Chain A
Amino acid sequence: MELVEKTTGDVVVLVLNGRLDSNTSKILEDKVMEILGQGHKKLLMDFQDVDYINSTGLRVLLLALQQLKKNQGKLVLCSIKDYMKEVFEISGYTEIFPIFASQDEAIKGFA
């Protein structure tokens, strides 16, 4: 799992790359905590280059969402590959996460 962080206005964009599983989810969790610790409230995770997620990865997303909500923040996801969408639906995540098709649309979604 590789993470590239950039900032667009007041939105922190995390571009994830690789697998989000039992071996790698901690990297994302630590990064989210670091971003929260810096006082950011708007976080976008771009899944363009994520080719695998399991329940450990999904759990980290829910934790991040809960932490952000506690701080009146917002977590948005984008560019999830088609073949992984059903798993987000079955997990009940399409109800609690705003999910956009592209990074541009997601950034507009924060406005």
Chain B
Amino acid sequence: MGDIVVRLSNQLAELDRLAEEVESFGERNAFPRKVIYQVRLVLDELLTNVISYGFSDGKEHEIEIRMRLEDSRLHLCIEDDAAAFDPLQAEEPDLRSPAEDRAIGGLGIHLVRKLMDSVRYERRDGKNRLFLEKNIS
């Protein structure tokens, strides 16, 4: 109940399956609706980036997503062999300018940072690993 692993291939269509897994994991563990949505969103943003920009060899790659619930804290880990990319190094988007001048873009990673309580990146053995945590209240 508190632990699942989802393996996806690097196709955007796979994200629907991941969304379903998150929904059922959240429901099984009685997460508030808002938390289920936010976790879906965070994984959507991160994996859309990995799948869209991380691979250039045209081959199939596996991406592993682990979800674990421990003492009301959700732990997520995304592991892939895409090009090295640390989302924490991404520039903060422009959220202060008036609407007319506001730059379009950069929101995805910003949402990830704000919606999770902790995000940590490591590159090891040719793989990206992103560890995310969120308190579930």
Establish whether residues B99 and A87, one from each chain, have CB atoms under 8 Å apart when the complex forms.
no
Looking at chain A's contact residues, the main secondary structure is helix
Establish whether residues B34 and A91, one from each chain, have CB atoms under 8 Å apart when the complex forms.
no
Q: Which of A59, A83, A84, A87 contacts B104 (CB 8 A)?
A: A59
B104 / chain A contacts, CB cutoff of 8 Å: 59, 62-63
State how many residues of chain B have any CB contact under 8 Å with chain A.
Answer: 25
A92 within 8 A of B: yes
Chain B residue nearest to A51 (CB atoms) is B37
Establish whether residues B12 and A54, one from each chain, have CB atoms under 8 Å apart when the complex forms.
no
Residues in chain B within 8 A of chain A (CB atoms): 12, 32-34, 37-38, 40-41, 44-45, 48, 95-96, 98-100, 102, 104-105, 107-108, 110-111, 114-115
Residues in chain A within 8 A of chain B (CB atoms): 21-23, 52, 54-56, 58-59, 62-63, 65-66, 69-70, 82-84, 86-87, 90-92, 96-97
